[in-house]
Structure 1
């Protein structure tokens, strides 16, 4: 019976295996300043500007109770629409909807529109206090909301300049809330309902927009120092 011999080894069997190509680490995506500004602007538009404009417009046409319901319906409609379309709902919109729900519920239970307008004084004071209290924790309140506007990770959140920025902005918004509460209480006690609604709507919007612009300017300054803002591609 003939013996079987193993097939001769091919040349490739003696060649070293080709090393796998090295995988280069992917740099995290850094949005440009215009993208961040657009996110902040859209968030403020949906959560603050449109409800305020709707409230005053409906109040002038159909009265205060209808305006209260329409403003609340807008907030929940915006949350529902973003959920149905798979878009992320900002923390600012959720907070606005929560505060409007509490205000509307108390006003309807007591049948008092005056209490509806008094509640922002209380809520601004409470929120400002929570902002200040959050300074003793590892994550100030602004740090908890920052992910709505810029992609945050653990390494980025621990950078000293970023932590200092979050603390400074938390103090800024806390003091702003206390100032708004004081102004609202003064207007409520010294003006008529129609004047109060007009002045309050315009002044609150103006204060929020100025504060948002200051927030973006401070954040952009720190972001440039940290190399966090993307750049537009160079023209060919």
Structure 2
């Protein structure tokens, strides 16, 4: 006679909020704040073409820095280097910075649609992202409470990124490049930080409920 046993509850070690912030801060600085600051400085001192050149040099400089230190170069960084080169060439040929910033805005819009459209699937996009960060046992992923959590998070992140894309596009087509850079960077940092904090707190509460 075969007995079907329910897998025992396995505690999941979730990092403390302070540790998560220390882990995320350098990536936010490198990925969001410094590129904008470098482009803005180039725009102020050298004009549009100088800013485009500085932005390209910045990205490729990051690749060279990792190679010199014999650290692996992430595929995402190589992709970013190729993408920014194409964007800079298009913006330089047309003389319009809009083409330089349009592709990231459209990418954010596509990400928002990805979160929203996969919300009710068996494995939504937000779940794939979460399980890359925190290992969650399969039996917990199938729990109805956890599935409801990921549906809610899909809607949360989908709406946040939709607001991000809408705000970015409005600023891009209605404001100066300088205003776009400053306002968008500040607003998006606040928006995504708040969304991430809500997600972390909700996840911790969900895990505590499952492990009772």
Compute the TM-score of the two structures, normalised by the length of structure 1: 0.66
Q: Larger helix proportion, structure 1 or 2?
A: 2
Q: Distance in 1 between matches of 2:190 and 2:68?
A: 27
Which of 163, 174, 183 lines up with 2:167 in the alignment?
A: 183
Going from structure 1 to structure 2, the CA distance change for 1:55 and 1:165 (only over 3 Å counts) comes to farther
User: C-alpha deviations, 1:89-114, integer Å up to 9, x for none?
Assistant: 6xxx93x8746743541441453422
Query: Which residue in the other structure is 2:13 paired with?
Result: 30
- Larger relative contact order (CA 8 Å, sep ≥ 6): 1
Query: Which residue in the other structure is 2:5 paired with?
Result: none
Q: Distance in 2 between matches of 1:168 and 1:159?
A: 14
User: C-alpha deviations, 1:88-140, integer Å up to 9, x for none?
Assistant: x6xxx93x874674354144145342211122331121111122222243211
Aligned-residue offset at 1:50:
4.0
Give structure 1 regions of 4+ aligned residues with deviation exceeding 6 angstroms: 77-83
Q: How many residue pairs end up in the alignment?
A: 198
Residue 135 of structure 1 aligns to a residue whose secondary structure is: coil
Q: Distance in 2 between matches of 1:80 and 1:144?
A: 30
Aligned-residue offset at 1:39:
3.8
Unpaired runs of 5+ residues, structure 2, are 1-7
Query: Which residue in the other structure is 1:160 paired with?
Result: 144
Q: Distance in 2 between matches of 1:65 and 1:30?
A: 44
Q: Distance in 2 between matches of 1:212 and 1:79?
A: 28
